Structure 1
Amino acid sequence: MDLIEYIAARGGIVRTRALREAGFSAHTIARAVAAGRATRFRRTWIAIGGVDPILAGAAKLGIVVTCITQAARLGLWTYVDPADPHVYHVAASPHAGSVAVTQSLVHWSKPLIPRDPDALEDPIENVLAIIAECQPHERALATWDSAFNKGLVDRDSFSRFALRPAARRLLAEVSPFRDSGLETFIVTRLRWLDLPIRCQVWLYGHRVDVLIGDRLVLQADGGHHVGAQRASDNAHDAILRLHGYTVIRVTYAQIMDHWPEVQELILRAIAQGLHKAA
């Protein structure tokens, strides 16, 4: 296989040592760099054009991408506080000495799974364990729910790791049935009601986000609630109402920034018995 094809098949960036072990000579590597077909980082990494800039930066600095930065790269639900000065979350070995990374939060904790020296990304187990310590419980649970929902980790195998208390608490609460972080936030914030609260319940041909009691439906609209999707959702709302359900629709901004108002709507509906079957 051609050197550039080999690097591309491995994410666009590979350690020089790994290339040599794969059979590429030092001359072949140097020739690719001299021709501009590849770039050398810190004398130990070789990258090609189009490589993820986050991975390239990690290679240059000798760090690993982890926590909510890696979770977002995996397509998991994350919340980024606009006031947080840390754009990236990365990890370094506790014995690595000083690591200065602009606009980044460096996690020094010992990982659950030892890190391969050729890795630039933490495995999902390390990512979740660090999130458990780094993020507020509610946000951490939303990301954990997302990881379990996507099947990236399972409860039995994860429980066998040496988890810290924050991670143990999350493992006890995590659910693979929540489709978005908004559902996690809603369930967590309403748990004190001591009512049945279920996510992703199938009703009359479609799933609803949250069903409170028997008849109160809470739909959390994200950015996809436009055009044909909005028309379909509105039609389903009408069907639900005809069958005796009460539907409350709220937006991402309402849940994240105006939760007391959303909760007030829900409590008033419950007080009127709208969550009960006729």
Structure 2
Amino acid sequence: MPRIRLVRCCTMLAMDRKLAAAMARVNGVAHIQDLLGSGFTRYQVAALHRSGQLLRPRVGWYVTPTHDSAVIRAVRAGGVLDCVSAAASYGLPVPRDHRVHVGLAPNAARLRATDDGYRRVAAGDDNGIVRHWGAPQPRGQFRVGLLDALSTALGCVDRDWAVGMVDAALYGVDATGLRPISGTEFARLSAAVSPDKRRILERCSDKAESVLESVLRVRLEDAGLNPAEQVVVGRSRVDFMIDGWLVIECDGRLHAESERFASDRARDAQLAQRNLRVLRFTYAQIVDDWPGTLRTILAVLGEGRPALR
């Protein structure tokens, strides 16, 4: 390899490593001043942008191309991920919402559309974004803290889902490595929110293993029922039990594996031998058709406990 070409390759490799280190320090979202402070010149930054190694969603702001699209849209809007968008980035379950929830400083101005880094919009004119005005975020952060995201969500999403999100944070999300929030953190969250939000937190539990269980528990309680949660019956543990004999299970997981499907049905048979009635409901039944699901539960309760065989 000619010496000039070898020097050029080494220079490019060193530049790539330098860029990777600089962007890692700011979690993939950098202001031009961050890059200049890392030793890049404005000419080099412009060259990195032209080559596609950096995206510029907003004048003066640069993002790694591999960053989540929601982060890029939040930067373009002039803020950071907040509310359910931030919660989702931590791995928490959130309700379906195509919009990006963006946290902005109280004095945020020069608002931009999320689909165009240069077109100005008035607050509320962009249907692809939900703006939350709060405390200014330091550079180097692309999202608010987890407790701040939960605090905002308590006043933004339906109460059932808000409870489910906090429950998931209390239980921890193993798939994403999110550790459970501590009792101290939960107390700090409760102390920082309004009385209305605090009443929602009072409905939370660290026993729920899925957001579907949280939603079902809250809706059962609202219906005047008193479900016992995570009840141990013999060698099994059931999601909920009402009046000591009606077992309610959430089938939110996909039962693609025949072994898991067979295991659940074998357990149902064992529960039936203990004179217990088992009802299983899917995500769609609990979330999208709750009135029909509740009618089924009340009808079975009205029939009374099955006769002992």
Q: Is the TM value for this pair above 0.5? A: yes
Matched position secondary structure for 1:173: coil
What CA distance in whole angstroms lies between the structure 2 residues aligned with 1:213 and 1:275? 12
Give the alignment partner of residue 235 of structure 1, picking from 237, 242, 266. Answer: 266
**2:205 counterpart of 1:148:** no
The alignment yields a C-alpha RMSD, in angstroms, of 3.0
Query: Which residue pairs with 1:133 in the alignment?
Result: 155
* CA 20–201 in structure 1, closer or farther in 2 if over 3 Å, else same: farther
Q: Per the alignment, in what secondary structure is the counterpart of residue 192 of structure 2?
A: coil
CA contact (8 A) 1:144 1:174 kept: yes
- Separation in 2, partners of 1:204, 1:100: 59
1: CA distance, partners of 2:240 / 2:25: 41
Deviation, 1:96, is 0.6
- Letter matched to residue 156 of structure 1: T
Secondary structure of residue in 1 paired with 2:165: helix
2:134 is aligned, of 110, 128, 134, to 110
Q: How does 1:241-252 map to 2 (within 5 A)?
A: 241-252=272-283
Residue 181 of structure 1: aligned partner: 211
Deviation of 1:147 after TM superposition, in Å, equals 1.8
Q: Distance in 2 between matches of 1:131 and 1:192?
A: 21
Q: C-alpha deviations, 1:209-259, integer Å up to 9, x for none?
A: 222232221011124123332222112212222233211011111112222
Q: Which residue of 2 aligns with 1:157?
A: 185
Larger Rg: 2
The whole-number CA distance in structure 2 between the counterparts of 1:162 and 1:11 is 27
Q: Counterparts of 1:276 and 1:185 in 2: how far apart (Å)?
A: 31
Residue of structure 2 in register with 1:70 after alignment: 86
| CA distance in 1 between partners of 2:263 and 2:25 (Å) | 41
CA-CA distance at 1:126 after TM superposition? 1.3
- CA offsets, 1:110-132, max 9 Å, x none? 35xx5223322111111111111
Note if contact 2:54-2:64 (Cα within 8 Å) is conserved in structure 1: yes
Do residues 5 (structure 1) and 20 (structure 2) align? yes
Which of 99, 104, 116 is equivalent to 1:87?
A: 99
Aligned partners of 1:156 and 1:277: how far apart in 2? 47
Task: Give the equivalent residue in structure 1 for 2:198.
Answer: 168
Residue 41 of structure 1 contacts residue 60 of structure 1 at CA under 8 Å; is this kept in 2? yes
DSSP-derived class of the 2:72 partner: helix
Using the TM superposition, give the Cα deviation of residue 175 of structure 1 relative to its aligned residue in structure 2, in angstroms.
Answer: 0.7
Q: Quote the Cα distance in structure 1 between the aligned partners of 2:35 and 2:102.
A: 25
Kindly state the Cα deviation for residue 11 of structure 1 after the two structures are TM-superposed. 4.4
Which is further off, 169-178 or 33-42? 33-42
Q: Specify the SS of the correspondent of 2:137.
A: coil
The ranges of structure 1 where at least 4 consecutive aligned residues each deviate by more than 4 angstroms after the TM superposition are 8-11, 22-28, 192-196, 275-278
Asked if the contact 1:215/1:277 (under 8 Å) is kept, the reply is no
Structure-2 residue corresponding to 1:33: 49
Question: Structure 1 regions of 5+ residues with no counterpart?
Answer: none
Aligned to 1:80, the other structure's residue is in SS state: coil
1:190 equivalenced with 2:210 (yes/no): no
Equivalents in 1 of 2:219, 2:195: separation in Å? 21
Task: Check if 1:200 corresponds to 2:230.
Answer: yes
For 1:107, what is the secondary structure of its paired residue? strand
Structure 1 residues 23 and 200: alpha-carbon distance in aligned structure 2, compared to 1, 3 A threshold: farther
Deviations 1:35-75 (A, max 9, x none): 43333343433333322111122222211111122222332
C-alpha distance in structure 2 between counterparts of 1:47 and 1:176, whole Å: 36
Contact 2:56 2:62 in 1 (8 A): yes
Q: Is the 8 A contact 1:63 1:92 kept in 2?
A: yes
1:108 match: secondary structure: strand
1:14-35, CA deviations, whole angstroms, 9 ceiling, x for partnerless residues? 3333344445555654443344
Q: CA separation in 2, counterparts of 1:276 and 1:95?
A: 67
State how far apart, in whole Å, the 2-side matches of 1:211 and 1:9 are: 49
Match of 2:75 in 1: 59
The 3 A distance-change label for structure 1 pair 110 and 258 is same
